[in-house]
Chain A
């Protein structure tokens, strides 16, 4: 079996000899050595211990069980020198007595064969525990060990404190860095903040100016159109009088010129009316009359009026009449105006193919599409067509004020909906109006 430590003791002064030899005797007894051998081992320990204490104040004593067959082996080590002659007689008490000396000191090894041929590890453990539990430390030993513990604890505390100090310093350093960063950041933020506030104020200012300008424009439009309407109306009335069959007859050339003047005046009147409508819608003074509107009915009426506008047989008007019970809460006149404008627009820019209008209900909204197969609009102009007086540069011959689409869009907004368009040059355009089924508060 391998070496098994049983016990380790320190011999410091003469009184310890009694302890050591007593433990030696206990160990021998526990390992089954007979009484005589116990006495022999105790005596041997006593003699050698005394000899060693004469030369040096500290002797380490270690009890082990070792070898096969097992032996009780006792190692005694001292830093001092020991004369082999003085302990030689002890050799007669044990099986083996060896003395070895080196620079580190002197070690005496005592060995006694145990009676049992086999000593199990469990047995060794038992003996070890027994010896440990019966250990009686002298007050001085107790004090010495306590002192050692205290010293090591103190050492540990010192080390801890040093570590803490280092950590603390590092933390402080980091803290300083963080503070500096924080200050820098906060000053930057403040700066930015000031900039933002200034910008915001500027924006506010600008938007106020814009609002004022827009209001002025609206006012101007309303006034101008209002002032223009009266003279135009009277021009038209007078022209009607001149061309009345009851008046003086006109020459053919005069009649033709009068006809041209009437057409121009009528255009002018419709332009002025459109402007007036737009100005009303923009000024927010347009108050919708909310009623339940039957979409099917409205589509039928629109189809009727639009048929009259179609000038060429190459364009087909397709109106999908929604089924009965297609109601929407809206202003009938405004909604009709919107769709009429869209259809007029579509017809105006379509030479051949078809103009179609459809409605479908989706997620509590009516989606009405007006599609044509006309000239289409390049993406660059998609937004601009909703601006007042904007007309596509391609079709000079098409007559119109350029107010139809912007007005329709304004009205859709007034009714709580939205309008969008998709178009591709040469393929036609699709205008989509989305309106809530019921009025949105």
Chain B
């Protein structure tokens, strides 16, 4: 079974989903990512869904779950590269990506994470707000 590769770029883990995610693949990604977070101690995860044309409620929920797991493991998850059509469909479906921060692309996502890392140096880590995708920056 195919697995989604998880790349470590500095303090950030980059997950790039390029193909339609099957259920098994999504579950495997959950496990792999948790393990990598623990192994590397990374505090930021960027999930790139540029390659996903269709995000149905199952994939949406899976992304939410991954974000929740990462947060529990003290890592921030940012979903980047969402296509407008996907965004519209998700909204119409009434699916909120709970606990997921979003960014337009990988670069902006890295910036966001870097900023957060700086803030963390001074402040107690605040709990991440729940953002709906329509409010994403």
Contact = CB atoms under 8 A, between A and B. Distances in A.
Contacts of B54: 21, 25, 39, 42-43, 46
A45 to B, nearest CB: 9
Contacts, number: 50
A21 B53 CA distance: 11
Given A42-B54, A43-B55, A50-B56, A15 B92 contact: no
Contact of B93 (A42, A47, A50): A47
B89 A40 contact: yes
A36 B88 CA distance: 8
Given A14-B23, A92-B92, A93-B92, A36 B85 contact: yes
Contacts of B93: 43, 47, 89-90, 92-93
B53 A39 contact: yes
Contacts of A39: 53-54, 85-86, 88-89
B22 interface: yes
Nearest to B92: A92
B57 interface: yes
For chain A, give the interface size range. Answer: 10 to 19
Interface in A71-121: 89-90, 92-93
A237 to B, nearest CB: 151
Interface string A144-163: 00000000000000000000
A200 interface: no
A220 interface: no
A18 interface: yes
Interface centre among A14, A21, A35, A43 (most CB of B within 10 A): A43
B98 to A, nearest CB: 15
Contacts of B23: 14
B22 A47 contact: no
A215 to B, nearest CB: 120
Interface residues of B, number: 18
B94 interface: yes
B94 A50 contact: no
A320 B64 CA distance: 143
Contacts of B57: 47, 50, 89
Contacts of B56: 21, 43, 46-47, 50
A90 B90 CA distance: 10
B94 A89 contact: yes
A262 to B, nearest CB: 151
B55 to A, nearest CB: 7
Nearest to B93: A89
B58 A46 contact: yes
Interface in B54-73: 54-58
B119 interface: no
Nearest to A46: B56
B3 to A, nearest CB: 16
B58 A47 contact: yes
A35 B85 contact: yes
Interface in B80-112: 85-86, 88-89, 92-95
Contacts of B86: 39
B87 to A, nearest CB: 10
A33 to B, nearest CB: 12
Interface string B27-65: 000000000000000000000000001111110000000
Interface in A25-48: 25, 35-36, 39-40, 42-43, 46-47
A367 to B, nearest CB: 115
A39 B85 CA distance: 7
A89 to B, nearest CB: 5
Contacts of A35: 85
A18 B54 CA distance: 10
Nearest to B55: A43
B20 interface: yes
Q: Which residue among B56, B88, B92, B95 has the maximum number of chain A CB atoms within 10 Å of its CB?
A: B56
B53 to A, nearest CB: 7
15 contacts: A18-B20, A25-B54, A42-B54, A43-B54, A43-B56, A46-B54, A50-B56, A50-B58, A89-B94, A89-B95, A92-B92, A92-B94, A93-B89, A93-B92, A93-B93
Instruction: In the A-B complex, list the 5 residue pairs whose CB atoms are closest, starting with the nearest.
Output: A46-B56, A39-B85, A92-B92, A42-B54, A43-B89
Interface of A: 14-15, 18, 21, 25, 35-36, 39-40, 42-43, 46-47, 50, 89-90, 92-93
